[in-house]
Structure 1
Amino acid sequence: MPIIESIDVSAVSVPLDRVTSFSNRSVSTRYYGLVKVRSKEGIEGIGFCYIGSDGGPIFTAAVEHLLGKVLIGKDSYGVEGLWQSMYQEALLQGRQGTVMRAISALDTAIWDMNSKAGGLPLHKYLGAFELESVPAYASGGYYLDGKTPEKLGEEMASYVALGFKAVKMKTGRHSPKEEEARLKAARDAVGPDVELMMDCNNAWQDVTQAMQYIRRFEQYEPYFIEEPFGPDDVDSHAKLARLTHLPIATAEIGYGRWYHKELLDKQAASILQTDAAVCGGITEWKRIAATAASYGVVVCPHWFHDLHAPLVAATPNARYVEFFWDDQVLNFRRLIDRQLSQKDGRVILHQEPGLGFGFDEKAVARYGAWTTVR
C-alpha cells in the first residue's frame, strides 16, 4: 500500500533556441511545472505540465498551499478519491487554468508511481490496446523568419522521409491567399497519400472569416483543421463543422469532462485533442476519452508525446500521438533522462515500469529549483 510521504515541486523556464511563431503570437521561452510524488516505500512518480508565460508562482503555490496537503499521508491507490479531493479543494481557486494543470501534474505523478509499484509500464497498467508502439504524426510547420512555402514543403517532406505517414503544419497567420500557397507547397511536397493536418491556434474571430480560408483549403484535403477559434467559442466550432466537410479538431486547452461533453453534444469537433497535462490528469483524460468513444469521436492528444503515447496505447478510439522530431519547440524533452523513439511513423513504447523515464536533475537545476512539501 503506497502511502504518499512527500511532494517536490518546481517551476522552470527553458528558452527556445530561436523565437518561434504561431498564427497570433510568438514564443521565446517555455515554462513548465514539475512535480515528484514519493511514497514511504521510496517509490517516486513524476508529473508535469506547460504553464505558459510566468505561471510558475501560481503553479508552485497551488501544489504547496492548496493541493499537496490533500495528498500527504494518503494511499496512492485511491486515485479517484484523491482526484476528487484535489478538485474539491480547488473549486474557488481554479477549476481551469494553472491550478487545474497542477492537479493534472499531480494526478500523472500518482499514476506513474502506482504503475511502478505494480511493476508494469503505464500502458499495460492502464489496460493496453497496443503493446509495442502507437501511430504518430510529425508536428511542425511553424513560422520562422525567412521560411518560405518551399522551405515549409521541404520540412514536411523530411518527416515523410523519416517514415511518418501523417504530418502537421501551422496556419492562420497570413492572408487566405498566402496560407493557401503554404498549404499547396506542403501538399505538393508530401503527396496525396500522406495525411496533412493544419493547426490554426485560435486564429479566426468568426465563421465568416474562417470560411475565407476554408474554401481555399478544402481542395487540398487536410485531415483536420485544428483550433480555428478560441476554445470557449464552442458554437462557432459547431457552425464551421456544419459548413465544411473537413474534420474540426480542438480541446487541447479544454478543462474537465463537462467542457468536452458540450463539444460532443453540439457536434463541434470530430477529433478531440484533449491534453492529460491540462484537462485534469490521466484520471480525467480517461473519462473524456471513454465518453468520446460513445459519441464515435476520435482522440488525438495534444503534444507531450512522452506522456500521451501510453495513454493512446490504452485507448481504442485514440488514433495518433503528436510527435515532435526535435526539441526546438517542445523543449520539455531537455528536462527528462530518456527519450521516446519512432520507427516508420510509430512511437516505440517504453517497457519499463511507469512512464519509463524520469527528470534529468542536472538539466532541471539549470532552469529552476525544487521545494519539498511534507
Structure 2
Amino acid sequence: MKITGIQTVVVNALYRNWIFVKVLTDQPGLYGWGEATLEWKTRAVVSTVEDLAPIVVGQDPMRIEHVMARMNRMSFWPLGIIGMTAASGIEQALWDIKGKALGVPVWELLGGQVRDKVRVYTHLKRGAGGPASTDDIGAFCDAAQETVEMGYDAIKLGFVPYTGYDAPLQSVLHVEKLAEAVRERLGWTVEIMTDFHGRPQSIDAAKAYIDAIAPIKPLFVEEPIPPGDVRAMADLARRVQVPLATGERLLTPREYADLAESRAVTYIQPDLAHCGGFSGGRRIAAIAEAANMGVAPHNPMGPVAGAVALQFDAATPNFVIQEEIVGVVPWFEEVCSLYPLQLTDGSWQIPRHPGLGIEIDEAVAEKHPFEQEIILSLHATLADGTVANW
C-alpha cells in the first residue's frame, strides 16, 4: 500500500479554523483523517502540510513510525509548533488508515481498551459564548451552572485576569470571591479546574492567586506560569496546596521528561494535534506514568481532534480526564457523518467503528470556508499598556 496524496480541508469555526488533514492511498476508498488545528496559524500549517507531502507520498501508510521519522529527520530543521502540528495531523490520519485496513478501532492498535468510558470536562458554556467576563459574579455563576446542566460533572473556568509580575490585592480578593461563589453554586459533586494561561509572570504572583483559589479544592490549576521553566514550576508546586498541570504548549518527549524528572506538576496535558499525534502522545504518557503523573489531554478543537483524543484515552492507563468543546458551533456534529463523541453521565463512550470512527462530510465543510480568525490575544494588555500573556 502507498500514500498517493495529502489534502487539507479548512473549516472556519468560533475563534479557530479547523484544519482537517486527509491522507489518500492507492487502495480504492481507503483514506484517513487527522486534525492539525493551530490557533491563528492556519495558512502556515496548511502550507507546511504541503511542504511535508513530498517526504510522505509514496510511503507505506502502515509504517507509521517510519513515516514520522522521515518527517522529523528529513526536514533537517526542528519542526517547531507549526511543523509539529502539520506532522501530527498527517500521523493521526495514518492511524485512521491502519485501523480501517485492519477493521479495528485505533485504541485496539494502541494496546487495547483499559477503561469502559472516558471522563470529560468542558469550558464555560462549551466555549460557545466566547471568553466570559468575570466582573459579574452572578452571571458567571449562572453560566457555570448552565454548563453543568448540559450533562457535565467537571468544568474548567478562567478566574485570573491578565497579570504581570505582581498580583494586585484587589484582583486577588476578587478572584477569591469569584471562586467561592462558583463552588457554592455548583456544590462539591462537580470538579472545577482553572486555567491561568501562563498569565502570572512570577512565582509569587501565581502563588497569590492559587492560594486564593485553594479553598474550593480545584482538580488542578493549569499553566500557572508561562511554560518552559521547569525549575520555577517545580518550585511553585512545592509552595502551594493545589495540584498543577501544564503541557498544551510543550511538544517533545524531552520537554515532558524534564517535568517528570523534577515532579514539577501532578498532571501533564499533551495535545495530540501538536505533540506528534498518537506516536508522540504514547511516549509522553509513558514518561508521565513512570513519574506517577496523570494525563489530562488538551483539546479545544474540532471533531477529528476529539475522535483522536477519545481513541488515545481509551488505551492510556494513566489517563485522568479529557478536555472537549463539542458543540462550540451549532453545526459541530453536522460536519461528521459518523460521530463517536457521545456524552453520557459526564463521559464519552468507547467507540467501536474501525479507525477513528469518524467521517468528514466535505459538503458541509465547504459551507464554512477559511476566514481570518478573531485574534483574542490582541486584547491582552495591562492597565498601563504593557503587553500581557493571553
TM-score category of the 2 structures, normalised to the smaller one: 0.7 to 0.9
Q: Deviation digits for residues 191-235 of structure 1, max 9, x if unmatched?
A: 123221111111110111112211211111111000112222322
8 Å CA contact 1:123, 1:131 repeated in 2: no
Residues 1:64 and 2:50 are matched in the alignment: yes
| 1:1-374 mapped onto 2 (5 Å cutoff) | 2-14=1-13, 16=14, 29-42=15-28, 43-53=30-40, 55-65=41-51, 67-92=52-77, 94-130=78-114, 132-140=116-124, 143-144=131-132, 148-173=136-161, 175-303=171-299, 304-328=305-329, 335-339=335-339, 340-368=341-369
- Greater share of residues in strand: 1
Aligned residue in 2 for 1:20: none
- Residue 76 to residue 233, structure 1, CA distance change in 2 (3 Å): same
Structure 1 counterpart of 2:349, which letter?
I
d(CA) in 2 for partners of 1:163, 1:32: 25
d(CA) in 2 for partners of 1:12, 1:353: 24
d(CA) in 1 for partners of 2:203, 2:152: 32
d(CA) in 1 for partners of 2:141, 2:150: 15
Q: CA shift at 1:116, angstroms?
A: 0.8
d(CA) in 2 for partners of 1:282, 1:13: 25
d(CA) in 2 for partners of 1:146, 1:245: 24
d(CA) in 2 for partners of 1:225, 1:332: 28
Q: CA shift at 1:40, angstroms?
A: 0.8
Structure 2 counterpart of 1:73, which letter?
G
8 Å CA contact 2:132, 2:140 repeated in 1: no
| TM-score between the two structures when normalised by the length of structure 1 | 0.87
d(CA) in 1 for partners of 2:243, 2:133: 30
8 Å CA contact 2:244, 2:265 repeated in 1: yes
Q: CA shift at 1:145, angstroms?
A: 5.2
Q: Deviation digits for residues 152-194 of structure 1, max 9, x if unmatched?
A: 2233333443443322111212622222222112111111232
Q: CA shift at 1:348, angstroms?
A: 1.7
| TM-score between the two structures when normalised by the length of structure 2 | 0.84
- Residue 109 to residue 58, structure 1, CA distance change in 2 (3 Å): same
- Residue 82 to residue 186, structure 1, CA distance change in 2 (3 Å): same
Q: CA shift at 1:148, angstroms?
A: 2.4
d(CA) in 1 for partners of 2:67, 2:39: 26
- Residue 184 to residue 201, structure 1, CA distance change in 2 (3 Å): same
8 Å CA contact 1:327, 1:334 repeated in 2: no
d(CA) in 2 for partners of 1:156, 1:338: 30
- Residue 69 to residue 201, structure 1, CA distance change in 2 (3 Å): same
8 Å CA contact 1:168, 1:197 repeated in 2: yes
d(CA) in 2 for partners of 1:57, 1:130: 38
8 Å CA contact 1:139, 1:325 repeated in 2: no
8 Å CA contact 2:99, 2:355 repeated in 1: yes
Count matched residues. 351
Aligned residue in 1 for 2:167: none
Q: Deviation digits for residues 316-349 of structure 1, max 9, x if unmatched?
A: 10011113252149x8766444441111111123
8 Å CA contact 2:160, 2:196 repeated in 1: yes
Structure 2 unmatched ranges of 5 or more:
163-170, 300-304, 371-390
Structure 1 counterpart of 2:267, which letter?
I
**Aligned-residue CA RMSD (Å):** 2.2
d(CA) in 2 for partners of 1:324, 1:56: 19
Structure 1 counterpart of 2:278, which letter?
I
Q: Deviation digits for residues 231-271 of structure 1, max 9, x if unmatched?
A: 22322221111111211101012111111111111222110
- Residue 226 to residue 317, structure 1, CA distance change in 2 (3 Å): same
Q: CA shift at 1:363, angstroms?
A: 3.0
| Identity across the alignment (%) | 27
8 Å CA contact 2:105, 2:353 repeated in 1: yes
Q: Deviation digits for residues 76-129 of structure 1, max 9, x if unmatched?
A: 12111111110112331x432111100100000001111111111122232223
d(CA) in 1 for partners of 2:344, 2:136: 29
- Residue 91 to residue 13, structure 1, CA distance change in 2 (3 Å): farther
8 Å CA contact 1:152, 1:185 repeated in 2: no
Residue 367 of structure 2: SS of its match in structure 1? helix
